[in-house]
């Protein structure tokens, strides 16, 4: 780029959950219900609390307006209630869904099930052990095929010698067997 060219500024936007999903009730255009709009959790507390206060009026009537004030404060308190970053209804739905799943879980969208047991079929052969004189003959043949001593020039080392090999080589005690032959 040339030095005179203007670089447009980078622009980033971050939207809250409320702007992505404005799920509130009680707002139609510019008109809003008193003290609203309300979230679904607030409406549940509002309706359930009203029903509870009406049905139990005989129990709390001697307290005066205290239960009604507590009810209204609880409606206000649940306005932004979240459980693990989710709305209470989404969290409850997830809990019900998790309780209804197969205990072993799911694989590829289907319930994971154990495979049916199957019999394993196989065979083995038991042979007679060789006679002792035969074993001695085999051991003698193996010993004859492998040389008892290795000439000093036959040891070939792949890579640099280790410190121990250098020490023993300089002392004249002989060569150290090397892996990889």
| Mean pLDDT lowest among 65-69, 80-84, 132-136 | 132-136
DSSP letter assigned to residue 146: S
Q: What is the three-class DSSP state of 118?
A: coil
Task: Say what the pLDDT of residue 148 is.
Answer: 57
Q: Distance (Å, rounded) from C-alpha 63 to C-alpha 72? A: 15
Residue 129: pLDDT band (50, 70, 90) is: confident
Residue 71 has pLDDT above 90, yes or no: yes
pLDDT digits (tens, 9 = 90+) for 137-157: 777 777 777 665 655 555 555
Residue 23 has pLDDT above 70, yes or no: no
Residue 50: pLDDT band (50, 70, 90) is: very high
- Pick 63 or 168 by higher pLDDT: 63
Rounded to two decimals, what is the model's pTM? 0.41
Identify any residues that bridge with 86 across adjacent strands, giving them in sequence order.
83
Residue 68: pLDDT band (50, 70, 90) is: very high
Dihedral over Cα of 43, 46, 49, 50: its sign? negative
- Pick 162 or 94 by higher pLDDT: 94
Mean pLDDT taken over the chain: 77
Roughly what angle, to the nearest 10 degrees, separates helices 40-55 and 66-77?
A: 160
Q: Are 93 and 99 contacting, i.e. CB atoms less than 8 angstroms apart?
A: no
């Amino acid at each position: 780029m040339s030095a005179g060219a203007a670089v447009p500024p980078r622009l980033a936007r971050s939207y809250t959950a409320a702007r992505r999903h404005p799920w509130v009730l009680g707002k139609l255009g510019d008109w809003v219900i008193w003290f609203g709009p309300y979230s679904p959790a607030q409406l549940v507390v509002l309706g359930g609390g009203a029903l509870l206060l009406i049905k139990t009026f005989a129990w709390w009537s001697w307290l005066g307006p205290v239960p009604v004030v507590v009810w209204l404060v609880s409606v206000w308190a649940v306005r932004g209630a979240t459980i693990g970053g989710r709305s209470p209804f989404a969290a409850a739905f997830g809990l019900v869904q998790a309780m209804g799943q197969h205990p072993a879980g799911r694989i590829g969208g289907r319930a994971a099930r154990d495979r049916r047991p199957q019999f394993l079929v196989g065979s083995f052969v038991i042979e007679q052990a060789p006679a002792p004189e035969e074993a001695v003959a085999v051991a003698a043949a193996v010993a004859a095929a492998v040389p008892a001593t290795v000439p000093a020039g036959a040891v070939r080392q792949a890579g640099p010698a280790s410190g121990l090999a250098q020490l023993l080589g300089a002392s004249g005690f002989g060569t150290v067997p090397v892996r990889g032959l």
